[in-house]
Amino acid sequence: MDKIKRSNNAPVAQTATAQVHAAIKQRILDGDYQPHQYIREASVACELAVSRTPVREALRELVSEGWLEAIPHHGARVAAWTEKDAHEVFEIRLMLEPIAVRLACRHMDNGRLAYLKTLATQMETLTESSIDPEACNELAALNHEFHRELISASGNQRLTALLDGVVRTSVIRRNFANYDATHLRRSMHHHREILQAIEADSPEWAESVMRSHLLAARDLHASFPESMPEASREIPN
Amino acid sequence: MDKIKRSNNAPVAQTATAQVHAAIKQRILDGDYQPHQYIREASVACELAVSRTPVREALRELVSEGWLEAIPHHGARVAAWTEKDAHEVFEIRLMLEPIAVRLACRHMDNGRLAYLKTLATQMETLTESSIDPEACNELAALNHEFHRELISASGNQRLTALLDGVVRTSVIRRNFANYDATHLRRSMHHHREILQAIEADSPEWAESVMRSHLLAARDLHASFPESMPEASREIPN
DNA sequence: CAACCCTTAATTGCATACAATTATAAATCT
DNA sequence: AGATTTATAATTGTATGCAATTAAGGGTTG
């Protein structure tokens, strides 16, 4: 009796607008649309065989989600990602996630904890095996799901939605291209330690580890200054 | 040589969509649209003498901003405000604003500080005079501007936008109806003390006062349990 | 009498046509 | 030749008409 889990809160591809929404987001993720490139309504409408109306609505949604930026009477273009953006996101995550984990200690239930453990195990298994691009994608997805589930346990739905938006827009390309074996192992250990702290019912411990986790990730990111030409890389954490 | 300040980042009422956006938001604020009431595209379009298209786009924007909630194939209705919502918002503000003020200490410049002082003075003047409804509106607006300007000084634009959204949706009715003279004086003192801490270049002090400020506001809010029937009141802080 | 199906009304979702605005570029004037 | 102006094309913004979906009410049937 597995409950259906929907990790992404994107609109289900039932209406045309939702389909266009998903399609454009995928193209941004895949790098088909490069930063600062304008997304023309007519082009997308033609390619996806729909009218401009659902395209317009999808673009508007993507703008409000931070994927695109709208210039009045000029259309929407892919949001570029600067070092300042990365800095801002880490600053915000450092304010929210550690305290969120602290709150999560109080509201954690066995089912969720078990799910988090399976996620951690899956990530560890992937880390130990070969590091092909496909595995990197999977690792990134699992990592996001882990963080999201942990935050969700705080019981604060607004907080979950907020962080979802903040973190999501920081992931342009889903790969761990510029990773570091040492960092990766430490990261996996952090995940385990957070779960152990929660089991030990020590909010301060869990909060502290999460803070270390994020600070380590920020440091790693700072050590890759502007290396990628077109789009920012995945930031492991 | 006053620089033009735009405290609200709402779309300027130039395009029809922006006008509809502003109009509906105002109606929500004024209580013309009550919680859980459906906003029909056709009605609004007729009343504002525009077509359904800009109405649709405005509604979609308001949904993404948290003013409305969309039910597929049923339209958008005014988001209701529960005690849980208020709790979540305070929890988030407590995570973000104190640290934001701490950061603001490092980036504060004289011009901004002077502006904050004038805001504080204006609020104090209003507090000392009579408490008519009009003064309450003005006080709430100044209070928002004060907090917003303070957070903005953190230098983190994303953080400013984030908090703007979180706080904004918590204000359904712009009044200080359920205020308390004692709280109000304490609140004004907090504002002054934060500015003094910043001038003294003491981030920890400023952060601590902001935390006290928010905790006091939360406590006040908790002491008015579900008193208002239709829409939530302004939460003074 | 209750449960089910079908019809109907209302509303949103989508497509197309047209208007308004702006960038581009050629042409003209100084 | 350089700057300015003006026409043109491309793109977004808006209006209207139609299709799809859903909720409700009346009718039918067991």
Q: What is the pLDDT of residue B138?
A: 84
Q: What is the pLDDT of residue B2?
A: 32
Q: What is the CA radius of gyration of chain B?
A: 19
Half-sphere exposure of A212 (CA within 13 A, CB side): 15
Query: Closest-CA residue in chain B for A102?
Result: B95
Nearest by CB to B92, from A64, A65, A159: name it.
A159
What confidence tens digit (pLDDT) does each residue in A37-55 have?
A: 999 999 999 999 999 999 9
Choice between B192 and A9, residue whose per-residue pLDDT is larger: B192
**Torsion angles phi and psi, residue A44, rounded to 5:** -60, -45
Task: Round the average pLDDT of chain A to a whole number and report it.
Answer: 84
Q: Quick check: helix, strand or coil at residue A141?
A: helix
Q: What is the pLDDT of residue A232?
A: 39
CB pairs under 8 A between A and B: 60
Q: What is the pLDDT of residue B136?
A: 79
A83: contact with B, CB 8 A cutoff: no
Distance CA B174, CA A211 (A): 37
Subunit contact A96:B92, Cβ cutoff 8 A: yes
Whether the predicted pLDDT of A75 surpasses 50: yes
Q: What is the pLDDT of residue A179?
A: 61
Q: What is the pLDDT of residue A123?
A: 93
Strands of A38-39's sheet, edge to edge?
Answer: A38-39, A75-78, A68-71
CATH architecture assignment, domain A83-222 = Up-down Bundle (1.20)
Half-sphere exposure of B156 (CA within 13 A, CB side): 29
Q: Where are the domains of chain B?
A: 16-78, 83-222
Q: How far from B219 is each of A187, B92, B142, B201, B224, CA to CA, in Å?
A: 39, 15, 21, 29, 9
- Name which of A85, A89, A162, A164 to mutate to probe chain B: the one with the most chain B Cβ atoms within 10 A of its Cβ: A162
Q: Which two tokens stand for residue A52?
A: 């401009």
Q: Quick check: helix, strand or coil at residue B71?
A: strand
**Torsion angles phi and psi, residue B217, rounded to 5:** -65, -40
Residue spans of alpha helices (H) in B31-67: 41-47, 52-65
Q: What is the pLDDT of residue B140?
A: 84
Non-local (6+) Cβ contacts of B28 within 8 A are: B67, B78, B172
A161: contact with B, CB 8 A cutoff: no
CATH number of A16-78: 1.10.10.10
Listed residue (A109, A102, A143) closest to A124, CA to CA? A143
Distance CA A118, CA A103 (A): 21
Whether the predicted pLDDT of A99 surpasses 70: yes
B99: contact with A, CB 8 A cutoff: yes
Q: What is the pLDDT of residue B81?
A: 82
Distance, CA of B12 to C1' of D8, in Å: 30
**Chain B residues within an 8 Å CB radius of A96:** 92, 95-96
Q: What is the pLDDT of residue A14?
A: 74
* Averaged pLDDT, groups of 10, chain B, 237 residues long: 35 74 90 89 92 93 90 85 89 97 96 97 87 77 93 96 84 55 89 97 97 91 51 46
Distance CA B208, CA B185 (A): 18
Return the closest nucleotide (C1') to the Cα of B20: D14
Q: What is the pLDDT of residue A237?
A: 55
Q: What is the pLDDT of residue B171?
A: 61
Distance CA A169, CA A165 (A): 6
